[in-house]
Amino acid sequence: MDMKITFPGGKKVNADYQGFEIATDQLPAGGGEGSAPEPFALFLASIGTCSGIYVLGFCQQRGIDITGMEITQSMDYDPVKRLITRISLAIALPEGFPDKYKSAVVNAAKLCSVKRHLENPPEFVVTAA
């Protein structure tokens, strides 16, 4: 499984993966054009969208209408460490969501593979040739 990272100009850095080009840029304050999300924004979005795909699958398997459902992701930031210290996901359930599935849908969101990789981080190896 490989991903090719390219540098198309300015502060843009793109990833080519499985036939998709994933574009990133920096905000103008960081010297970029703001033409695409910053890499860290994509990282954060991957957590919420990954949890979302598990929640969606859970509901679809049970025929639960998801109209009005959304997940709000909140991040706590430590300005001294300059790191996110907590990520919270709040699932707003649609009207009529079965009470018996409330804890199960939370458990489904926790199955997110991005979250699981953060809990058990891979080894990082960087080389140059």
- Same domain? For 81 and 93 the reply is yes
Contact 119, 47 (CB under 8 A): no
- Same domain? For 124 and 93 the reply is yes
DSSP 3-69: -EEEEEETTEEEEEETTEEE-----GGGTS---S--HHHHHHHHHHHHHHHHHHHHHHHTT---TT-
What residue type is assigned to position 23 of the chain? A
Q: What integer pLDDT is reported at residue 49 of this predicted model?
A: 98
- Same domain? For 58 and 98 the reply is yes
Q: What integer pLDDT is reported at residue 1 of this predicted model?
A: 86
What is d(CA 14, CA 129) in angstroms, rounded to the nearest whole number?
20
- Same domain? For 88 and 109 the reply is yes
**What residues make up the domain containing 4?**
1-37
- Same domain? For 68 and 97 the reply is yes
What is d(CA 5, CA 21) in angstroms, rounded to the nearest whole number?
10
- Same domain? For 82 and 111 the reply is yes
**Tens-digit pLDDT profile for residues 36-80:** 999 999 999 999 999 999 999 999 999 999 999 999 999 999 999
Q: What integer pLDDT is reported at residue 71 of this predicted model?
A: 98
- Same domain? For 73 and 121 the reply is yes
Classify residue 99 by its DSSP letter: G
The residues, any chain, with a CB within 8 Å of residue 86's CB and separated by 6 or more, are: 75, 76
For residue 120, the domain's CATH number is 3.30.300.20
Q: What percent of the chain has pLDDT over 70?
A: 100
Q: What integer pLDDT is reported at residue 21 of this predicted model?
A: 97
Q: How confident is the model at residue 85 (pLDDT cuts 50, 70, 90)?
A: very high
Q: What integer pLDDT is reported at residue 11 of this predicted model?
A: 98
On average, the pLDDT of the chain sits at 97
Q: What integer pLDDT is reported at residue 22 of this predicted model?
A: 97
